[in-house]
Amino acid sequence: MSVLVGKSAPSFSASAVVDGQIVENFSLDQYKGSKYVVFFFYPKDFTFVCPTELHAFQDNLAAFEERDVAVVGCSTDTEMSHWGWTQVPRDKGGIGGVTYPLVADTNKTISAAYDVLVGDYKLGEDGSLDAEGELVAYRGLFLIDKEGIVQHQLVNNLPLGRSIKEALRMVDALQHFEENGEVCPMDWEKGSEAMEANHESTSAYLAKSAS
């Protein structure tokens, strides 16, 4: 598994569904210099754990937007599959009401670039992909800063849903560091005490935590 933290987020251009409309040539590059991005992968449309995550991101979209964060989802389904799922109401197992972009990684290259592609496959010298069985994406999540650099990544296996609270906490931690130059210790939350990046402050924090 590749570690992308500290590196530029892999660039791509692909079809996507945005607020119920299919768009072509969607790219994360549009956010560079203006927004943070939470880019998350999920295995499949029309499944069970996936809609709980997709709805959770939608239900908390305002919290991300007030932090200047764009939320973007991605799976290896087609744009037509994404669109069809958005037409199904939530109480019928669909994702009706999801407005943020859902990228269609139909040829699996985006998932491969972010190293979240599940399955046995290899790329030929001509760029062709030879696979055994079905290829889907792990539940990967990448927090990308305004310069396009990955600052946090998380990859869960297929049965394990993620935490919106943790995703927001990581955004808050990154922005606190950028704004104040203070580092954020274990279980730090917005509004709590952070630390100066030196040995004395670290020792004081550990002593306080142990008392």
Q: What is the pLDDT of residues 55-74, one digit of tens each?
A: 999 999 999 999 999 999 99
Residue 130 has a pLDDT of 72
Residue 132 to residue 175: CA distance in whole angstroms: 42
Q: Where are the domains of the chain?
A: 14-162
Nearest by Cα to 118 from 76, 152, 89, 160? 76
51 pLDDT higher than 70:
yes
The pLDDT-based confidence of 5 (bands split at 50, 70, 90) is very high
Residue 85 has what DSSP assignment? H
184 is catalytic: no
Residue 123 has a pLDDT of 67
Which of 28, 38, 50, 168 is catalytic? The answer is 50
Percent of the chain with pLDDT over 70: 90
| Neighbour order of strands in the sheet with 36-41 | 21-26, 14-18, 102-104, 69-75, 36-41, 139-144, 150-156
Nearest 5°: the CA angle 75, 157, 2 is: 80
180 pLDDT higher than 50:
yes
Nearest 5°: the CA angle 140, 141, 146 is: 145
Least confident of 87-96, 115-124, 125-134, 140-149: 125-134
**Which CATH entry fits the domain spanning 14-162: 1.20.1250.20, 3.30.365.10, 3.40.30.10, 3.40.50.150?**
3.40.30.10
CA atoms 186, 32, 57, 110: torsion sign: negative
The three-class DSSP label of residue 5 is: coil
Q: What is the pLDDT of residues 133-173, one digit of tens each?
A: 789 999 999 999 999 999 999 999 999 999 999 999 999 99
Residue 167 to residue 133: CA distance in whole angstroms: 32
